[in-house]
Structures are given as structure tokens and as C-alpha cells.
Structure 1
């Protein structure tokens, strides 16, 4: 039986490329997106099924989970990919409202979606959650002068991704029946960085695809990039 995979923020960028690659290897992909028109176009292009979801709204997330329950009845893999960088402003101009928006979209949404989709994951024989984090949330990498992460100052985004990684490890400890792992896609050319990234979207999705397709024996509570485990 093919795996059924739900991906948030999948109408473009890393989410879309992940959906494309997983469809190619035989997954039944449920393409989650906030924008209905863009989501439907993306799903049609890939042969996936579109499910509307706004990860910042409880009611929307609940409706998406109900949609999947009524149609597929389960998911095997949940990929929490949706996220934002927030406004590009100096640290002096950063506001609490702006940080709250980034944290809600990037961190609270992981809790919101995971909680809603847990019953669907538990209907799988080998459920897995993949949370898209970032090397910008790593203390080790942001202090390594050889890494691009050390050259970036983005407090809200970096803090949100550090939180995503910690959420992942906490969930991994809490749930013995569902695997939770996180991924650093690397500096990939997408809309989030104005396509300034040095990696292609294919390279940026390598680790996501690895976690979505690996054998359950690979383990839980890890964070990897396309080269392997990351220091945190």
C-alpha cells in the first residue's frame, strides 16, 4: 500500500518540490496550502489532491483533518513545512507583534497541525512527522564562521526554528508510537530568501525526502541535513 503524505505550505518552493518528488516515488500526496487557486493549480500539476489549510487558524486545521479523515482515513507522513521569514527589518525596528506572527506561523502551527492530525497518523502502521527547521536555529552553526548561518541576523526566524527543533525532540520523547524528526533544508533558492540561496530546490528537499521515505528503524528525535546529522 502506498504511503499517504500530507504536506503544509506545498503550493510552491520546498513544499511543492517535496510533493513532486514524493509523488514520483509512489506516495499519495495531499497538497496542503492556504491559497485555494494556487493550491489547486499545484495539485493538478502534480497529480496530487489539494486540501485547503491555513496553519494559523484552528478551524481551518480542524477542517483539513476532517477532510482527510473522510477521504483517506489516515496519513503515514505529516510534513510541517509551512513557514514565513517575517518582515525584513533591522533588529532595532523589530516589534513584538512581528515576532508573534513569525512564532505563530512557524512554531505554534506545528503544534496546531500535529495535534489535529495525530489520530490520522495513528491509523498508520508506521507514522512519521517531519518538521522543517533550519540551520539558523542551531547554536553551533550560527557560531561557526565557516557556515553561512553565522553571517545572518534574523532573530525572529532563527528563534522560531530553534523552537521547531526543540518541539521535535520533545514530541519524539512524548510519543513512542509516532516518529518525529526535523530537517535543515540548507540555503535554498526560494521565495523566502528572494531566490538568493545557493542550493536548488531539489538539493533543498533531499533531507526532507530522506526522512519521509526512510525505514522506521532509522529512529526518532533527530535533525539532519542532506549530508547527515547536524550539531545543535
Structure 2
């Protein structure tokens, strides 16, 4: 039986008006949140692995009370159980502290593989999977466009700009997947109803043996110094075709150095 832990994140909806708070952290109260789209691909790949054989998928998230919604979405997709690490002291944590909390949570679970999305859609750093792998003392195979699991061996294909790599690892492995692995499934009505009976454990820092001084914005290694609002969208330039539309189009493209 293959046991897979998938780390997921609750992020602000990218279609909303995302802003920063006065302390330069992302405002998570003024916009709806959801399961990071890139993490949906990780959940999908984990489900495909266990469906091809036998196994269990446990989803782990770190975040405020509302972050439980990200776990519920994964359970609706088909994951078996969830863990929500929630503690007021975690607010403002950077990638290093987040990786510490995730690693401690994963250590408390039984697992063979750990799956991540390639990055979160809010921060977009893409370093948490390898940070967690380092803390767990495991190899990391990252940016997988295709995953094959055969026993205790994991093979991925990583696509670059000019070539593709095939990477193989054995034993316990941390894997991050890209959005090229295939569309994530939509929760079915049956899956939504079944998710209501699936367990979600809630852990605090104390449950993980961590102190507040190890996490949070005041103890972060990285911080946002300042932010600038995105300028409002301006009206486009309208060119009336009076028989010389083609010429004007070429002149416009040349002025922008497109041709």
C-alpha cells in the first residue's frame, strides 16, 4: 500500500482584487480564498497513483481557520484524510518557517511519498518542496511533467525549454508537479458528500513540538519591505482605418519594437 502525503495551500483567489496589509503581508481577509490551483495537480497525481494500485492520500495544510476549506476541496476530489495545522503564532511565516511546520507535520504521519504543487499561486517562490525535503532528509525530484511510480521507485519527466530529463529516485521521495501533468478532476456530488465523513485532524504548534519563536512574521528570514499598487488599466488606442490601416498597424508594431 502506497501512502502519499500531499501538502496544499489556501490562497487568495487570483481573480479577486488582491492587496497587501499595512505590514506588507498579503491581505487574506479582504478576498475569498481557495485551494491553490497548482496544488490541485499534486492532489490529482497522488490520487492517480493510489488508484493504479492500493494506497491512501492524506492532505496537509498550514494556515488560518479558513484554510480548512483547502483540505475539504482535496477530500472532495478523493483524498482520504486531512491535517490542518492552525496556530495564531504562524501568521506571517515565510517559506523557511512554513517548511519547518510542514516537515514536522509530515513526520507525524505515515508516508511513502510526499507530493507538492510546483509553487503556490500567491507567493510563487517554488522553494518549499525542496526545503521540506532537506528537513526530512529525503531526495527531491521537482517540476515533474509526468510521474510513474513502480513499487518504491519514482520516475519523473522534467520538461525544459530545449530538452526533457528523466529522473529516478527510490525509497521515500518528495515530488513537486507542474500544471503539465494533466487536468485535475472536479469533485463529484458523491465525492462532496463522502468528504463530509472524512477526518480532518487539527494540530497546533505544541502538537508538533514547535515554539512560537520559530515561526511568524517577527521571526521570518525574509520580508517584503515595500509594495506599490498596480497602476490602473488605461484605455487602448483606437485607430480608424481610412485606407491606411495596414500602414498604421505596421508603424504601431515598429514603435513597440515588435517588428
TM-score band, normalised by shorter chain = 0.3 to 0.5
TM-score normalized by the length of structure 1: 0.42
Query: Which structure has the larger Rg?
Result: 2
Higher fraction of helix: 1
Identify the structure with the greater strand proportion: 2
